[in-house]
Structure 1
Amino acid sequence: MATPRDVETTKPDGQAPAEPEPTTQGPPSGQRPGRQGSIKLGLVGWLRWGWRTLTSMRTALILLFLFALASIPGSIYPQRGVDPGQVARYFQDNPTAAKWLDRFWLFDVFGSPWFAAIYLLLFISLAGCVLPRAMLHIKEIRRKPPAAPSKLLRLPYGEAFEGELTVEEAARRLRRKRFRVVTGPDWVAAEKGYLRETGNLLFHLALLALLFAVGAGALYGYRGNVLVVEGDGFANAVAAYDRFMPGQRVSAESLEPYSFTLKDFQASYVAAGAKQGQPIDYSAKISVQDSPTSAPRDFELKVNEPLDVNGTLTYLIGHGYAPTFKVTDGKGQVAYEGPVPCLAENQATYTSECVIKAPDAEPMQLGFLGRFLPTTVPNGEAWVSVFPGAVNPTVQIFPFGGDLGMKSGVPQSVYQLDTDGLKPLGKMSAEPKPLAVGDTLELADGAGKIQFTGVKEWISLQITYDPGRLPALLAASAAVLGLVLSLTVRRRRVWVRMRDGKVTVGGLTRTEGSGAAFSTEFAEIVTMLREE
Structure 2
Amino acid sequence: MTAFLRNTWRGLTSMRTALILLFLLALAAMPGALLPQRSLNPPRTADYIAAHGWWGTLLDRLEFFDVYSSVWFSAIYLMLFISLVGCLLPRTVDYARSMRAQPVLTPRNLARMPHHAQATLPEEPAAVIADAKARLSGWRTVERDEDGGGKTLSAEKGYLRELGNLVFHFAMLGLIVALALGKMFNYEGQVIVLADGSEFCNSGTAGYDTFRPGLRVDGTDLTPFCVRVDDLDVSYFPDGQAEQFTVRMDYQAGADLDAGTWRPYDLRVNEPLRVVGDRVYLLGHGYAPTFTVTFPNGESRTQTIQWRTVDPQTLLSQGATKFDPPGTTDAEQRRKSQIAITGLFAPTAQYDGTLLTSGHPDLQDPAVAVDVLRGDLGIDSGRGQSIFEVDQSLVDQGRLVRVARQNLEVGGQLRLDDGTTVRFDGVERWAYLQVSHDPTQVWVLVFAVAMILGLGTSLTIKRRRLWVRATPDDAGRTVVSVGGLARTDQAGYGEEFSRIAAALRTPRREP
TM over 0.5: yes
1:509 to 486, 490, 493: 486
Shift of the 402–73 alpha-carbon distance from structure 1 to 2, 3 Å rule, reads farther
In the alignment of these two chains, the number of paired residues is 473
Question: How much does 1:453 deviate?
Answer: 1.4
Aligned-partner SS, 2:285: strand
Q: Structure 2: how far apart are the matches of 1:236 and 1:70?
A: 34
Q: Which residue of 2 aligns with 1:270?
A: 237
TM-superposed CA distance for 1:391, in Å, is 1.8
Scaled by the length of structure 2, what TM-score is found? Answer: 0.83
Q: Among 61, 74, 90, which residue is 2:19 paired with?
A: 61
Deviating more after overlay: 522-531 vs 212-221: 212-221
1:209 to 155, 174, 199: 174
Larger Rg: 1
Pick closer, same or farther for the CA change 1:503–1:124 going to 2, 3 Å.
same
Decide whether aligned partners of structure 1 residues 403 and 393 sit closer, same or farther in structure 2, where only a CA change above 3 A counts: same
CA distance 1:369–1:466, shift in 2 (3 Å): same
Q: Give the whole-Å Cα distance in 2 for the aligned partners of 1:92 and 1:379.
A: 38
What corresponds to 2:331 in structure 1?
none
SS in 2 for 1:463: strand
Cα distance, 1:424–1:504 mapped onto 2, change above 3 Å: same
Are 1:283 and 2:260 counterparts?
A: no
> Which residue does the alignment assign to 1:319?
285
> 5+ unaligned residues in a row in structure 2: which ranges?
146-150, 327-333, 473-477
Q: Distance in 1 between matches of 2:306 and 2:48?
A: 22
1:230-309 aligned at under 5 Å gives the runs 230=195, 231-238=197-204, 239-247=206-214, 249-250=216-217, 254-271=221-238, 276-290=239-253, 291-294=256-259, 295-309=261-275
CA deviations on 1:472-523 (whole Å, 9 max, x unpaired) are: 11111111100101111111111111112111111111223x42x1111011
Q: Which residue identity does 1:328 align to in structure 2?
A: T
Which SS does the other structure have where 2:85 is aligned?
helix
In 2, Cα distance between the equivalents of 1:269 and 1:131? 58
State which of 132, 141, 157 in structure 1 corresponds to 2:99. 141
**What is the alpha-carbon distance in structure 1 between the residues aligned to residue 299 and residue 4 of structure 2?**
77
Question: Closer, same or farther in 2 for the Cα pair 1:251/1:354, shift >3 Å?
Answer: closer
1:333 positional shift = 3.5
Question: Is the 1:369–1:398 Cα contact (8 Å) retained in structure 2?
Answer: yes
Distance 1:70 1:447 in 2: 63
Q: 1: CA distance between counterparts of 2:102 and 2:380?
A: 82
Give the equivalent residue in structure 2 for 1:414: 387
8 A contact 1:56–1:125 mirrored in 2: yes
Alpha-carbon distance, 1:195 to partner: 1.3
Contact 1:224-1:242 within 8 A present in 2 as well: yes
Out of 86, 89, 95, the position equivalent to 1:128 is 86
> Secondary structure, in 3 states, of the residue corresponding to 2:369?
strand
Cα separation, partners in 2 of 1:338 and 1:253, compared to 1, 3 Å: same
2:103 counterpart SS class: coil
1:182 to 142, 148, 151: 142
Q: What amino acid sits opposite 1:478 in the alignment?
A: A
Query: What is the distance in 2 between the residues matched to 1:261 and 1:285?
Result: 9
Q: Aligned residue for 2:329?
A: none
Q: 1:468 to 1:146 in 2, by over 3 A?
A: same
- Counterpart for residue 470 of structure 1: 442
1:38 alignment partner in structure 2: none
SS at match of 2:502: helix
- Give 3-state SS (helix, strand or coil) of 2:291's partner: strand
| Residue 172 in structure 1 maps to residue 130 in structure 2 | no
**Counterpart contact for 1:225–1:244, Cα < 8 Å:** yes
Offset at 1:263?
Answer: 0.3
CA drift at 1:204: 0.9
Q: d(CA) in 1 for partners of 2:6 and 2:389?
A: 57
For 1:56, the aligned partner's letter is S
